Structure 1
Amino acid sequence: MALVAAFIAIACSLLGAFLVLRKMTMVGDAISHAVLPGIAIAYWLSQSRASLWMFLGAAIVGVGATIVIEVLRKKLRVQSDASIGMTFTSLFALGVVLITYWSDSVDLDQECVLYGEIAYVPFNLWLVDGVSYGPIALWSSGALLLVVLLYIIVGYKGLKMTSFNEDYAAVLGIAAGLWNLSLMSMVSLATVVSFESVGAILVVALLVAPAATAYLFIQRLKPLLIASASLGLVGALGGYGLSKVLETSIAGSIATVLGALFLIALIIHSLSARKTNGYAVEA
């Protein structure tokens, strides 16, 4: 279970670093909630919880949500926060309605999507001809981490350029819009792979908290990626340990540890900024 949490935490933290740099953290929040109707429709059509169908449904809705947000913001001049809020709440509500309406034929639960239950990971095994190859979540989260790492390695230049300066990237012939869509597709993938184990709410925390914490001290991309992944790992393992000690929700404990790390980092950053300003005044 701890390994599953670690894999998901590292994958989400790496993607979160690019969302923080692009000031798109709320878009990640929107996608993690907006994919619910895609998941519900994919399951209803396929009657399968296979990751491929789930990913296709989530990716289509996730990319669609991104396009809707961009159209509302750039074409219709709707404020960014309003366009994000309206999009993800509407889609999430639609997902809840679909799951409720198809409750007799869709074996999905909105509470599972929201909160997950990583404690059940060991019971959902990958069986082939009666042979167990371990928990499905362990394989899927490991594959997620591998895909995210390959995506960042292969697309590092494009991601870097479009994260720091979209206009300059456009001058160099780099399609910022396509890179945005690819990043949102990866966030959709992370959400659909993770929702059953850790839930959409913890996915949001893992996308935002480690990267936001690291960004208080680091602005260079490579160190930011390393620091984000490290903080995500610390939060996952620390939260898992805390849940064992207090006998509480694993997902809730991980989110609590991530929040505590951000608060500590914020205090240190504020104190160091005051100290620096004090020296500047004295000088």
Structure 2
Amino acid sequence: MTYTAWILLTASLVGVSCGIVGVFLILRKMAMMADAISHTVLLGIVVAYLVTNSLSGIHMVIGAAVAGILTTYFVQWFHAKGVDQGASIGVVFTTLFAIGVILIATKVGNAHLDVQHALMGEISFVPWNTVSVPLLGDIPLATLMLIIVFVIVLLVIGLFYKEWKLTTFDPALAASLGIPVLGMHYLFMTLVSVTTVASFDAVGAIMVVAMLITPAASAYLWTDRLLVMLGLSATFGVISAVLGYYFALWIDTSISGSMAFATGIIFLISFICSPKHGALSNLIRPKAGTEGQVHRPS
């Protein structure tokens, strides 16, 4: 594959995986959790580097994953103790991210690890860091990780689709049917953490947040059906990756930043043009008879 093809494939895998997971974040009203995890993984990366004194290896992924999962558990623990969920996310997110920044400034020294790289990523370097895979040959490490995560996301969402649906829309009913609602919540947040970590090194925190939230928010405007929403969100993620890449080439700017910008453009188009929930349709459609309707995917 060519250099451009590897970049587009990697970014598209980020868009698909984050798009699918992001739908449930939107429906569960936990969009800010994506921002929290995508930043707190910085602490895990820094700690892993301080322990091993190396910027490459599986230990970096493990450190980031542990930090993401700890973020989830801390937020849930504070929320269970009576703290508002938004406040819990804000406290945990800012505290752990700040610790990561302080450690970078005081302990890392001259290593190539900084906040700018963590926030923006550098997807243009992805094709150069390759590993040899039987039958596939040399493949970028970030792409291989994202392929594995994509398969995991499909398996977990597919195998427990009914459970995700019930626990998302009616947790009380799910609990009465014997579904472990809290266990499903932690499983889902672990999936969010793993997806975020796999995407983090290649594209940075900003694009991870954009891909987790914006395609799903755009899809939410176009349909009331969950399966269709999942498909649309994944599709919007891929379109954003491709459009963003060529836009970055056109004006010679950050690839990840341009891809994040593309997700915003797609959301703006959806917000204006969606036939059922768009701004134009709301202006044109008579308001009579719309009271009491609930927008809830099925």
TM-score (normalizing by structure 1): 0.90
Q: Equivalent residues in 2 for 1:1-283 (5 A)?
A: 1-49=7-55, 52-75=58-81, 77-104=82-109, 107-126=112-131, 133-268=138-273, 269-278=278-287
Alpha-carbon deviations, 1:172-215, whole Å to 9, x = none? 11111111111111221122211221001110000000000110
Give the whole-Å Cα distance in 2 for the aligned partners of 1:275 and 1:74: 44
CA contact (8 A) 2:38 2:209 kept: yes
| Cα offset, 1:273, TM superposition | 2.0
Q: 1:48 to 1:147 in 2, by over 3 A?
A: farther
Shift of 1:70: 2.2
Between the aligned partners of 2:157 and 2:36, the Cα distance in structure 1 is: 22
Deviation at 1:105, TM superposition (A): 8.2
Change (3 A) 1:161 1:193: same
Q: Separation in 2 of the partners of 1:6 and 1:188?
A: 18
What is the CA distance between 1:71 and its match in structure 2?
A: 2.7
RMSD after superposition: 2.2
The answer for unaligned runs of 5 or more in structure 2 is 1-6, 291-298
Moved beyond 3 Å, runs of 4+: 46-52, 104-107, 278-281
After TM superposition, the score normalised by the length of structure 2 is: 0.86
Structure 1 Cα separation of the partners of residues 270 and 127 of structure 2: 34
What secondary structure, in the 3-state scheme, does the structure 2 residue paired with 1:122 have? helix
- In the comparison of the two structures, how many residue pairs are matched? 278
Flag structure 1 segments of 5+ consecutive residues without an equivalent. none
* Separation (CA, whole Å) in 1 of partners of 2:154 and 2:230: 11
Task: Tell me, in whole angstroms, the C-alpha distance in 2 between the residues paired with 1:83 and 1:272.
Answer: 37
Flag the 1:164–1:88 CA change in 2: closer, same or farther, 3 A.
same
Distance in 2 between residues matched to 1:170 and 1:203, nearest whole Å: 32
Partner of 1:216, secondary structure, is helix
Partners of 2:118 and 2:272 in 1: CA distance: 33
CA distance, structure 2, for counterparts of residue 264 and residue 64 of structure 1: 36
In 2, Cα distance between the equivalents of 1:193 and 1:12?
10
Kindly indicate whether the alpha-carbon contact (under 8 Å) linking 2:50 and 2:108 is maintained by their aligned counterparts in 1. no
